[in-house]
Structure 1
Amino acid sequence: MKITKPLLLALAFSYSISFAQTKDPITEAIVKEATENSQLEKLGHELMDQVGPRLVGTPQMKMANDWAVKKYADWGISAKNEKWGDWRGWERGITHIDMLSPRIKSLEGMQLAWSPSTSSKGVTGSVVIIPDLADSIAFQNWLPNVKGKIVLISMAQPTGRPDYNWTEFGTKESIEKMKKDRTEKTQSWAARIRKTGYTARTLPLALEKAGAIGIITSNWSAGFGVNKIFSAYTKKIPSVDVALEDYGMLFRLAESGNAPTLNITAESKNLGVVPTFNTIAEIKGTEKPEEYVMLSAHFDSWDGGTGATDNGTGTITMMEAMRILKKVYPNPKRTILVGHWGSEEQGLNGSRAFVEDHPEIVKNIQALFNQDNGTGRVVNLAGQGFLNSYDYLGRWLNKVPAEIRSQIETNFPGSPGGGGSDYASFVAAGVPAFSLSSLSWSYGSYTWHTNRDTYDKIVFDDVRNNAILTAILVYMACEDPQTTSREKIVLPVNPRTGQQMTWPKVTSPTRKGGLD
C-alpha cells in the first residue's frame, strides 16, 4: 500500500493527539536557537572560503577534517577523524590558459582534478581537433599528427544559452532549429569519438602516448558560463577544461584553418599516497547509549568551485543541528552520531567503509538522516522501502513547525535507494536511513560538480530550515520509546526483466583510490 501525505498525517495524528499538539520546550528551543543565534553563515565562510574545495586526497580535505574536529570541540562535542583508506595525494596549483595567436587572450578554464603538472613555463603548441575519420584504422594512421600539439576532444556547442533562455525569447522556429542542430552535432560527435576506437576515458591516454602535449575538454553544464569539472585521465601531460565560449572560439579557429597557439600552465603537486578520513562526532546517550540516531552528509567535493552546495550545505546543516542539539538537548536518550563522509564522489566510499567497519553501531541505528542535493529547503522525504516508516516518521514530523513541514511531500513506503548519496550505504545494510531531499535552485545545471559551486549560491534561509528540521527529527528519534521497525516491503517485479526486484546489496568501499 502506498501511503499518501494526508493519510500519513491522519495516522500520526490518531496515534497520539497530545503527542502532536502539546507544545514541546525542546522543539521551541531548537527553533529559537536556529533563528536567533544561527552559525550557518560563519560555518559556510570558514568551510567554503577558508578551507575551500575538498577533493579526496588533497590537503584541503584533511584541513576540513581537522577544522570540523576543532569546531565540535569548541561546542563541547566529542569528535575524531577516523581513517578508512588511502588515496592518491594531489594539490591543485596555478592554472593559466593563454591564446598567443592569432591574437592574445587569456581563456577561462582550469586543470582537471589529478591533472599532471607542467613546469612553471607551461607547454606551448598549436591546437588540433580530433578529426572525423572512417574508422579506428584511419585514426591510428592519423594519430602521429598530434605530436607537439594541444588536442581538443569535446564537441563545440552550437549555443551557450540554456534552454530556458531560448524558451523565453526565441521563436518556435528558431528553438526547433537550434535543438535539431544540437542533437545532430551531439550524435555526430559521439560517432566521431566512437570511430577512433577509444572512449572518452581512454582517448586522452592514447593521445598522450602519441606525443600530444595537452588535452582540452569543455564539459558544458547547460547554463550560462558553467562547466562540470571532473578528473583527468592523462598521466604525464596536462588536462584542462575550457569554458564553452572560449572553447568554441578555439574550435572555430582550428576548423577554419587558423589553428591558434596556446600556452597552458597547469601547476600541481603529486603528494604520493595519503590517508583518508571520515569525521565522526558524538553526543552520548543517557538511557540507551548503545542505540544511535545519525546525521549524515558527505564532506568531500569536486574542486571546480568550493563545493558549496555539494555538499558544503549538507555539511553545515548537520554541524549546525549538532551544535543546537548540544546546547538545548545535551542529554539525549539515545546516542547522537554525525558522519561527515570522505570520497562520496568516487562511490560512497567513506560511508561504505563505516558500515563495513562498525557493525555494532549499524545494527543499533534508530534512524539516519542524510542531506546532499543542494542548498534548497527540504521538500521530499521517502520511506526507502521500510514498511512502517510512515508511522515513526509521521509522528516525528508532527513536531516540526508547520511552515517547514507543509512544504515536504512524503512518499511511503517508497523504494530502497541503491546509490546517489551516503544514505544508500546504510539502506543496503537494512538501516532506516532517509534522504532529506531539497528543492532544486537549478542544482543540476549550475552548481552540481561545477566551476560555479561557490558560497554565493547558498540560500541560508533554506539551509536554516533544514537545520531546524534535522535537529527536531533527531530529537524525536532519540525520545521515541519505540525502536523503529526495519521490516521491508516486498519489492515489485521489474517490468523490463520480469524478475522480482531485490534489496540493494552492501558494497565494499574502494579503500585505495587513484593509485593505478
Structure 2
Amino acid sequence: MKRLFLGAFLLCATLTVTAQEKNAVIENMIKEATENSQLEHLGHELLDVIGPRLVGTPEMKQAHDWAVETYKKWGIPAENQQYGEWKAWQRGISHIDMVSPRVQSLNGMQLAWSPSTGPKGVTAEVITLPTVKDSMDFKNWLKNAKGKFVMISEYQITGRPDYNWEEFATPESFEKMKKDRDSLSNEFRENMRRTGYNSRSIIEALENAGAVGIVSSYWSKGFGANKIFSSRTKKIPTIDLELEDYGMLYRMAQYGDKPKIKVVAESKDLGVAPTFNTIAEIKGTEKPEEYVILSAHFDSWDGATGATDNGTGTLVMMEAMRLLKKFYPNPKRTILVGHWGSEEQGLNGSRAFVEDHPEIVKNIQAVFNQDNGTGRVVNMNGAGFLHSYEYLTRWLSAAPKEITKHIETNFPGSPSGGGSDNASFVAAGAPAFNLSSLNWSYWNYTWHTNRDTYDKIVFDDVRGNAILTAILAYMASEDDTKVSREKIILPVSERTGKQMEWPTQRSPERKGGLD
C-alpha cells in the first residue's frame, strides 16, 4: 500500500512539474514578446530598408539573405533553398509629368517588369480607347494609337469610396451614383468585347500598332489606393496612374484638349535570377523526424513595401521563432519556418517545398500559416481534417484568453484550394491551418496597393499573433500524440451538383516570366 501511494505521489509530482514547465515556457514567451518585442525593428529593416520583394529582383534576394543572417544571430540555422528561376528585373526611377496643356507632376508608377524608357523618357499625347461598333471598327481605329500613350482602364465617375457616400450623401444621390457607375462599367465591358479583345490581349494589339506606352489605373475603391500588378508589354512602358490624375487626363482627352505627358520609367532587365525559399530550423530532440512548420510568404508586389502582404506574416513567424529558440531551444519535434518565394504568382515557393520534400510533408504534425494583413487572428478552421477539433482546441487553450477570445473556430472546416501557402500543404494531405486576421480595410487599402507600407501595421495585433503562433507551435511540438490526417467527406457542390473532391497537389512554376 505504501508503494502504491508513493507511486501515485511520484506520478502526480511528475505531472505537476511538467505542467509547471509548460506554463513557465508559455509565460516567458509572453513576457518576452510583451517587454522586448523585436517586431518594430524587424519591420523597419525589412520594409523601410530592403523594401518591396518582387520575385526575381535584387531586393528579393537581399531579403532572403537578411532573414538568414537574422536567424543566425539568434542561433537558429537557416538557409536559402533554390527551387527555380525567374525573370530578373529591377525598378528604377518613375517620374510622370503632364506637359500640355499645362504642367503638373502626376502620381503614378511603372508596373512590375515594365520595359524601360531610358533616362530621357518618352513624351507623347494621351488618348483613350474609342467607342466602336465591332472588331473591324476597332481594327480601322488602331492606326490612331501610333506614337501615343493609350489609356486602357475604365473611367471612374467618383473617387469617393462607397462608405463615404453612405455617410454624407442622400439615399437618392447614392443610388443614382451607383446606377450611373454600373451603367458606365457595363458599357466599358461591352465596348471592350466589341473590339474583339479583352483587357489583357488589347495591350499587345496596341503595342503592335505603334503605341509608345500604356496608361492604366486600377482603383482599389479606397481614397488614394490603386492595385499595382505587372506590365504585359514587351518593348514599351506601362504605367499606372492614381485615380485622380487618370481621371483628369481622361476628361482632357475626351474634351479634345490633347493632353501630353512625359514619362521617365527607368528599369533594368537583369536576365535570369534564382528563386528561393528561406528555411530555418530548431531541431527536435525526441521526434526530430516529425515537424511543426511556421509558414508565411516572403515576396510581395512592389507598388509599396508589402507591409501587410505579407510583411506582417513574415514578422510574426520570425518573432515566434525567436521566442521558441530562447525559451524552448530543445523541442520534442523539429520546428521549421518557411519564408516562401513567389507566392504572389501562384504559391510557387511552398508548392516547390512540398514537391521537393515529401519526407518532411508525410511527417508534419501541423502547419500554421499567416497571410492576410495586420489584424489580430479572428478565425481558424480545421481545414477539412475530421479530428482537428480535438487537437486544435487543446493547443489553443494554452494561449491567453485575451487573444483567444477574439478567435472564432470552425470544425472540421473545409480544405483550402488556394489563396495562400497553407493550401500547398493541405493538397498534399498535411494538416495546415490558416491564422485568418481581422482585415483592417485590407482589401481596399493595402492588399497589392500603393499604400501597403510600415505605417499601416497595427503592432499590438501583430504582437498578439506572434505570441499565439509561438504557443501553437510549442503545444503542437509537445503533444504526446501524432495528429490524425483523416479527412472529411466533402459535400455535393450546390453549383455543379457533383461530389466535391479534395484539392490536388500542383507543381510550381520553376521558370517564371522567361517565355
TM over 0.5: yes
The offset of 1:172, in angstroms, is 0.3
Corresponding residue number in structure 2 for 1:302: 301
Corresponding residue number in structure 2 for 1:119: 118
Deviation string, structure 1 residues 474-513 (Cα, Å, up to 9, x no partner): 0000000000000000000011221100000000001000
Corresponding residue number in structure 1 for 2:198: 199
The offset of 1:20, in angstroms, is 9.4
The offset of 1:22, in angstroms, is 9.8
**SS of match in other structure, 1:281:** strand
Corresponding residue number in structure 2 for 1:277: 276
Deviation string, structure 1 residues 235-257 (Cα, Å, up to 9, x no partner): 00000000000000000000001
Query: How far apart, CA to CA, are the structure 2 residues paired with 1:20 and 1:326?
Result: 20
The offset of 1:202, in angstroms, is 1.2
Pair 1:167 & 2:177 matched? no
Pair 1:426 & 2:425 matched? yes
The offset of 1:19, in angstroms, is 9.8
Q: Which amino acid aligns with 2:447?
A: W
Query: How far apart, CA to CA, are the structure 2 residues paired with 1:300 and 1:33?
Result: 28
Q: Which amino acid aligns with 1:217?
A: S
Q: Which amino acid aligns with 1:48?
A: L
The offset of 1:436, in angstroms, is 0.2
Query: How far apart, CA to CA, are the structure 2 residues paired with 1:202 and 1:163?
Result: 31
Q: Which amino acid aligns with 1:256?
A: Y
**SS of match in other structure, 1:94:** strand
Corresponding residue number in structure 1 for 2:141: 142
Change (3 A) 1:285 1:257: same
The two structures have a TM-score, normalised by structure 1, of 0.96
Contact 1:20–1:395 under 8 Å retained in 2: no
Contact 1:286–1:334 under 8 Å retained in 2: yes
Change (3 A) 1:18 1:176: farther
What percentage of residue pairs aligned between the two structures are identical? 70
Corresponding residue number in structure 2 for 1:395: 394
Contact 1:129–1:251 under 8 Å retained in 2: yes
Contact 1:280–1:338 under 8 Å retained in 2: yes
Pair 1:67 & 2:66 matched? yes
**SS of match in other structure, 1:93:** strand
Structure 1 runs (4+) deviating above 2 angstroms are 16-23
Corresponding residue number in structure 1 for 2:335: 336
The offset of 1:156, in angstroms, is 1.1
1:46-61 correspondence to structure 2 within 5 Å: 46-61=45-60
Corresponding residue number in structure 1 for 2:498: 499
1:38-437 correspondence to structure 2 within 5 Å: 38-437=37-436
Change (3 A) 1:403 1:127: same
Deviation string, structure 1 residues 142-161 (Cα, Å, up to 9, x no partner): 10111000000011101101
Pair 1:476 & 2:484 matched? no
Deviation string, structure 1 residues 145-194 (Cα, Å, up to 9, x no partner): 11000000011101101011111111101100110111011111111111
In structure 2, the gaps of 5 or more residues are: 1-14
Pair 1:451 & 2:447 matched? no
Give the structure with higher Rg (CA). 2
Query: How far apart, CA to CA, are the structure 2 residues paired with 1:421 and 1:412?
Result: 19
Change (3 A) 1:283 1:213: same
The offset of 1:18, in angstroms, is 12
Deviation string, structure 1 residues 316-370 (Cα, Å, up to 9, x no partner): 1000000010001000000000000000000000000000000000000000000
The offset of 1:289, in angstroms, is 0.4
**SS of match in other structure, 1:404:** helix
**SS of match in other structure, 1:41:** helix
Give me the CA root mean square deviation: 1.4
Contact 1:31–1:468 under 8 Å retained in 2: yes
Contact 1:325–1:471 under 8 Å retained in 2: yes
Q: Which amino acid aligns with 2:460?
A: D
**SS of match in other structure, 1:195:** helix
The two structures have a TM-score, normalised by structure 2, of 0.96
Corresponding residue number in structure 1 for 2:8: none
Query: How far apart, CA to CA, are the structure 1 residues paired with 2:99 and 2:19?
Result: 69
Corresponding residue number in structure 1 for 2:7: none
The offset of 1:17, in angstroms, is 12
Contact 1:20–1:399 under 8 Å retained in 2: no
Deviation string, structure 1 residues 181-235 (Cα, Å, up to 9, x no partner): 1101111111111111111111111101100001000000000010000000000
Q: Which amino acid aligns with 1:286?
A: T
Q: Which amino acid aligns with 2:379?
A: N
Corresponding residue number in structure 2 for 1:11: none
Q: Which amino acid aligns with 1:70?
A: E
Q: How many residues align?
A: 501
Query: How far apart, CA to CA, are the structure 2 residues paired with 1:151 and 1:434?
Result: 45
Contact 1:113–1:230 under 8 Å retained in 2: yes
Deviation string, structure 1 residues 375-434 (Cα, Å, up to 9, x no partner): 000000000000000000000000000000110000000110000000000000000000
